[in-house]
Amino acid sequence: MSIAHTSSSEKVFAPAKKSHRTAYLLLAPGLVWLLIFFAFPLLNLAETSTKTPAPSFETGEFVQTFRFANFIDSFSANQEQFFRSFFYALCATVLALAISYPLAYAIAFRSGVWKNFMLVMVIAPFFTSFLLRTLAWKQILGAEGPVVSVLQFLRILPADATITATAFSVIMGLTYNFLPFMTLPIYASLDRIDYRLLEASGDLYANSATTFRKVTLPLSMPGVVAGTLLTFIPASGDYINAQLLGSPGNFMIGNVINSRFFRVVDYPTAASLSFILMASILVLIVIYIRRAGTDELV
Amino acid sequence: MSEKKKVEGDLRLDQVSKTFGDFVAVDDLSLVIPKGSFFALLGPSGCGKTTTLRMIAGLEEPSSGKILIGDTDITEAKAYERPVNTVFQNYALFPHLTIFENVAFGLRRRGIKDVNEAVEKVLNLVELAHLKNRKPGQLSGGQQQRIALARAVVNRPALLLLDEPLGALDLKLRRQMQIELKWIQTEVGITFVHVTHDQEEAMTMADTIAVMNNGRIEQMGSPADLYENPRTVFVANFLGQSNFIDGEVEASDGENLVVSLKGSKIALPKSRNNAKSSSLKLGIRPEKFRLHTADEKLTGNFLKGGVITDISFFGVSTQYLVEMPWKQELMVFEQNDGGAPDLEKGDAVTLSWEPQFTFALDGDAK
């Protein structure tokens, strides 16, 4: 009796073991990729961040001295760009949210047969390169471009004013470039909402504004959180928009890291800045997710 | 919403129609549901019962006609303005709110500040007060069903609508909930309008049943009335099963009509004849038949010459299919209480029944 019992319980456990192995097999390609292209470079970067120039003072030659003060030095030298990065990224995120939520709402609930077409239109910009699209905006907003000409013609802008090389155009570029990352997650979470919940809300004396506030919005919060993260994180590390649409006065931390790596060839500073950026984004995200309180919904 | 005037009274549908394009979902429906009653709209899927319910709830707009509660016309009122609450088929509990907040939702929307007492009371009524801090996803189907009911009942609406509320539950739980729902309805005294395709569910709970088919009401009455004296073939077959045999009225004999039924003369009480013409469809429920061996001497209503073609054992009863000489198969249920003779497939049998269990429809009735 007990023998029979043991053998039957073994049979029950066998498939569980197999599914574990399958899970590891499925994870393997990703793990290998992560190891080679993420973990290893990250360690390399960490090692670089505490180096100091070689005694020979030759460009690009550094020796490991474990100088952790590199972090303090590089942060205090670039505080302005750090705060500007987060400020621009925040503005772009708020703007993208303000544009995306109504857009996603319209696609999810009001687009009818146009739904798929509208979704393709949201993704369409990805068919061209990020760099080209930003360059195109440089043309459009440039001194000879149609926007400035029209605004000057209408006397909204003075004759010598420009739009490019301002914070406005950088934030606009960031907003434009990361808009789909905001729209798609919000759309996905709105589209998943059971319309019967909205009917139930109406049935329970909530008018459409209250239904939106009490049912639709809370249920779409996972999408809003995902969208804001997907916008804020890349936007705060971006340098293309500031480079092409801004002036040095609008440079973000990405621009500093870029120039330290490729122009000045100051690898330790660039590496330590990268780490500070990574750490501060991580801290901001943790605080944000805690505050949003949607971890159980995500 | 409007506390100034309390809307209550009988629910009245006055020539209500609803069309979707060319499709007529509800066809010129007029109906009065008395205040405080448990009313069931029974019918197959697509018969218009759910559309009728949604129009009462304000989730669909009638194409024509009026809906009134007491003397207040609510035809144009928005869903959130009506003193009507719905228990949805899939419960539609808000997944982001706790059970307590789900139940309090309607009260809060009407600006009631202190909801604790009412919510606790209704949660006690459905015996789930201990789950008030859980989320709907953590509850079983039966528990969710009760919360959906509590969420509607707590508002003390003039009318509570139930859209196939027990459809997702298993048989045992469904039986239990049928009894509980009926009890809760008696307890709170709200008018319940219940939509279902399950005749047993409708018969267990409702005071009055309206059987719907193709957007119209076929027949309305008490469960017993509908079952014992159906007016249409559809009703006869939708509530339980019926055997129909074509017959012809031959003579009148006091209280009864004498009907020629495939060569046999049988008695039909006049009170149970719903036919206008003399050619009849005679209905006899399978459980009203009695089986006898072919050599038994019988008086009263009986049909000779049957042969058993199939026997199925159901536990409480056994179902026999009996082929008659005119090649019609009749269905017979016999209680498994030793009253019926031991019979096997191929045995010759005679069927008898009491005249008062016969009902008659027009020969061309559908």
pLDDT for B173-203, tens place per residue?
Answer: 888 888 888 888 888 889 999 999 999 889 9
Q: Is A201 helix (H, G, I), strand (E, B) or coil?
A: helix
What confidence score (pLDDT) does residue B92 get?
94
- pLDDT, mean of residues B23-37: 93
pLDDT per residue as tens digits for the range A111-150 = 989 999 999 999 998 898 999 999 999 989 888 888 888 8
Shortest Cα distance, chain B CAs vs residue A222, angstroms? 11
Q: Which of A190, A196, A201, A204 to mutate to test the interface with B (most CBs of B within 10 A)?
A: A204
CA distance A203 to chain B (A): 5
ipTM of the complex: 0.82
- Nearest CA distance, B96 vs chain A (angstrom): 7
β B84-87/B301-313 pair status: unpaired
CA-nearest of B33, B72, B155 to B106 is B155
Query: CB neighbours (10 Å) of residue B35?
Result: 15
CA dihedral (B196, B202, B204, B206) positive or negative: positive
Give dist(CA A145, CA A244) in Å, integer.
Answer: 15
Joined tokens for residue B241: 């099963």
**Residue B302 forms contact with A (CB below 8 Å):** no
| Better pLDDT: A265 or B117 | B117
The full set of domain ranges for chain A reads: 70-292
Q: Can you tell me the distance from the alpha carbon of B51 to that of B181, in angstroms, rounded to the nearest whole number?
A: 22
* Class of the CATH domain delimited by B241-362: mainly beta
Q: Which of A203, A214, A218 sits opposite B85 (nearest CB)?
A: A203
* pTM confidence score: 0.81
Cross-chain CB nearest to B109 (options A210, A219, A297): A210
CA-to-CA distance for A227 and A186, rounded, in angstroms? 6
CA distance B352 to B354: 7
Among B74, B84, B109, B193, the strongest candidate for a mutation testing the A interface, having the largest count of A CBs within 10 A, is: B109
Kindly state whether A195 is in contact with chain B, defined as any CB-CB distance less than 8 angstroms: no
User: Do residues B16 and B217 lie in contact, with contact meaning Cβ atoms separated by under 8 Å?
Assistant: no
Higher local confidence (pLDDT), A4 or A45: A45
pLDDT average, residue stretch A172-183: 95
pLDDT > 70? residue A12: no
Question: Considering only A3-12, A74-83, B267-276, which range has the smallest mean pLDDT?
Answer: A3-12
Which residue of chain A comes nearest to B85, CA vs CA? A203
Q: Is the dihedral of CA B80, B83, B89, B95 positive or negative?
A: positive
Can you tell me the mean pLDDT for B65-77?
93
* Burial of A7: CB neighbours in 10 Å, binned 0-12, 13-18, 19+: exposed
Residues of B in contact with A202 (CB under 8 A): 58-59, 78-80
Under 8 Å CB pairs connecting chains A and B tally to: 58
More confident residue, B168 or B64: B64
Q: Taking a contact as any Cβ pair under 8 Å apart, which residues of chain B between 47 and 76 contact chain A?
A: 57-59
Record the tokens describing residue B326, joined without a space: 């005119």
Of A15-19, B240-244, B298-302, the range with the lowest mean pLDDT is A15-19
Tell me the per-residue pLDDT of B50-66, one tens digit each, with 9 for 90 and over: 999 999 999 999 999 99
Query: Is B71 a residue whose pLDDT tops 50?
Result: yes
Fold for B11-236, please state it: Rossmann fold (3.40.50)
pLDDT at B275 > cutoff 70 = yes
The side-by-side arrangement of strands in the sheet containing B256-261 is B264-269, B256-261, B243-253, B279-284, B358-362
| pLDDT for residue B5 | 59
pLDDT interval class at A14 (50, 70, 90): low
- The pLDDT value given to residue A15: 58
CA distance, residue B61 to nearest chain A CA (Å): 14
> Tell me: the pLDDT tens digits for B91-112?
999 999 999 999 999 999 999 9
Domain with CATH 3.40.50.300 in chain B: 11-236
Domain A70-292 has CATH 1.10.3720.10: yes
> What gap in Å lies between CA A81 and CA A249, rounded to an integer?
9
